[in-house]
Structure 1
């Protein structure tokens, strides 16, 4: 069993009946969608591709007149109170082309601000790389832009290629939360999906 299979299997055991019903109708991403994403992000980890091969995404998906908005991922924010949606390959590629995603951390905040708030900017992250060079695979349930998760393919210093960056708004911060996507998924499994309690609140 692959890591992606194990991840979704364990998560589905914690869903309500209604959540399971919605989750099971989500189709896989098409091979064309995956191929297009791999051309843009050739180092995309296999475990993330495997998730898409099972479910194309859980963020504003409409399938057979059923609207899907289902959080399936987590980070270190508020002990799972703010989980994340898995974005589709199509959503990721469309957003990567938007102007605001072509800016770097330095362009957004300026060098002086970064130095003054250095504890909020992980030294394993390059400050001069456009956001769309990172793969933004998940957005938080709190309006999306409040927190986003990225895969960083070009780290700095002691950083690791493929590390997971968590962006959090107000106060803004960019922190590495795992060294790889596999480690990221394993951490959530090991923590027993700390966000799963929210499914009861979303059972509508």
Structure 2
């Protein structure tokens, strides 16, 4: 039986092909490689609750966010969210490790009322210093508009491992899936609507 990651990748490939972007996908598949076992082992050691489906994706491709493969830097849309207008990169294993613990620093001003209007899902803990989020994706404007996190420190109304989408302008923290597997399934169910002929280079 296929894993959720394999099902996701197969469906994403079809979406690229249907968007008349076969050449883009085929080139990506020809140059990319998965994360090293050493990096995966370090991720599992540092992030013991990291979802298997995320590890599976990293085994397939070790990031698509200005990632160097051979002599080429790529910036490739691999993920989406509940917002069809937003497209996302997958961070590499090293980028994920480097960003460990960045959420309390990045979001303290939002959660502590420095901005007038911030919409915060009730499933999310509002104490920035206690956040335990795994940063795995940035949107394709270099993360300036949105990032995606796996949340290991939810509020009493949330679930451990839920996926949080941060959106800037309007400022919003929204739980978009109860788990990483559910997140991938959501994108499959949405038929990869973030991949369109008019938004691919």
TM range (shorter): 0.7 to 0.9
Shift of 1:20: 1.7
The alpha-carbon distance between structure 1 residues 26 and 132, as it changes in their structure 2 partners (threshold 3 A), is farther
Write out per-residue CA displacement over residues 145-197 of structure 1, whole angstroms, 9 at most, x where no aligned residue. 31000000121111001000000011211110110011110011011001110
Q: Is contact 1:101-1:131 (8 Å) kept? A: no
Q: Is contact 1:162-1:180 (8 Å) kept? A: yes
The 1-side partners of 2:114 and 2:127 are apart by 14
Task: List alignment gaps of at least 5 residues for structure 2.
Answer: none
Task: List alignment gaps of at least 5 residues for structure 1.
Answer: none
Indicate the SS of the match to 2:9. Answer: helix
Residue 76 of structure 2 is matched in structure 1 by: 70
Residue 90 of structure 1 is matched in structure 2 by: 94
Which range moved further: 162-171 or 17-26? 17-26
The alpha-carbon distance between structure 1 residues 131 and 194, as it changes in their structure 2 partners (threshold 3 A), is farther
Which range moved further: 168-177 or 62-71? 62-71
Residue 159 of structure 1 is matched in structure 2 by: 158
Q: TM-score w.r.t. structure 2 length?
A: 0.87
Q: TM-score w.r.t. structure 1 length?
A: 0.86
The 2-side partners of 1:150 and 1:131 are apart by 15
**Aligned-residue CA RMSD (Å):** 2.2
Number of equivalent positions: 195
